Amino acid sequence: MEHKKLKEDSEMKIYNYMPESIGRLVSKLKERNNEEQKNITEAVQSIISEVRQRGDEALFELTKKFDGVSLQNPEVEKSLIENAFESIEPALARAINRAAGNIRSFHENQKEKSWFTTEENGILLGQKVTPLERVGIYVPGGTAPLPSSVLMNAIPAKIAGVKEIIMLTPPGKNGVPNPAILACALVAGVDRVFQVGGAQAIAAMAYGTETIPKVDKITGPGNIFVVTAKKMVYGVCDIDMIAGPSEVLIIADDSAKPEYVAADLLSQAEHDILASAILITTSQKLLKMVLIEIEKQTAKLPRKEIIQQSLDNNGAMVLVDSINEAVKLANKIAPEHLELCVRNPFLLVGDIKNAGAIFLGEYSPEPLGDYMAGPNHVLPTNGTARFYSPLSVDDFVKRSSIISYSKEALENVWQDIATFAEAEGLTAHANSVRIRFKDSR
């Protein structure tokens, strides 16, 4: 049975499950990525052109303009990286080392080997796995540094066997990058670090400058300027994915604890005003109690203004008749993070088709995946979990097919090859195999 919509004029939108209102919710979430405006595109294009044409000179000018820092040499001295742990709190150092160990352990299981098959008539087929030569990682700094993203991007690349990993991050006002970011770079095995931020950093990695080498692939998060730049250089080099605003979707039944659910929604809403936090529940009582908890917890949080805007604009609560309905809706939204706060979450895993990461049970909150569990936190957003996967070791290798046929093996199939080629009008293709057996006809 379809419910009537409860209300849609509250600060955090509340829906009953109805196709038309849910359709509007899904459309609204997808529209968040339309923040890229024409003036941003033009500005980024200009920055890329400047860096491409003038190299380091353009980087120095742009860094002075946007970061207020005068650079002489963009590369960070190795001694600063090696001594980074001395500049951070011991508790943070322990957390970094522990997280790095878990991330390394998880991603070691993703390593793929080259393989070959042979047949008696002289056929050898296979796949050769080759690491990328050089990868560039972008890490936001400034007021919202993300040291955890260093670990999540560099460790899989290292495990994949990437020969050189470089990292670009905005300079600090004191001319030194965030020490936690440098500590993570050391632990993760980053080879070189450069103090360059924004779209100019992406351009430098894509095209290379006098001091910053050109890379084969760029990974890492960033603001709309960074994301736009990554789109523009794709094809010159590879990129990880087009990341949109962060999001969490929680499926909960009446067994869920309201304070936990509220806290997890708020943990995502504090990212930025475009972040999305959604609750889908079978319990109207839980929904009301979560609303109360959100108000209570938000009042105590320093980023409450961001949280409020995020919840007002992109938050939602949906009341459904059944968990099955909740799962169907979750698959339609295809969230970045999906929490299953229900009695037996393991029973639902098989029904989840579209989600970047799935968190099972009340003691598996989304921040566990952000920092410590081990699976990668670089995840598909904005519905792209329908066809994208989390960042992994696979993203830092390429595969080449291996084909070797003996004369006997080719002789057995050459006429079929020629037939196919001629059907496509490619007579030179047909001749390429026919010429090898002209004396045997």
Which residue numbers are catalytic? Answer: 336-337
Neighbours of 121 (CB within 10 A): 13
Question: Which is it for the CA torsion 186, 190, 194, 199, positive or negative?
Answer: negative
Contact 317, 15 (CB under 8 A): yes
* Of 340, 271, 283, 356, residue with least CA distance to 311: 271
The Cα–Cα gap between 31 and 34 comes to 5
Return contacts of 1-6, CB within 8 angstroms, 24+ apart. Answer: 1/321, 3/319, 3/321, 6/319
Both structure tokens of 319:
């009341």
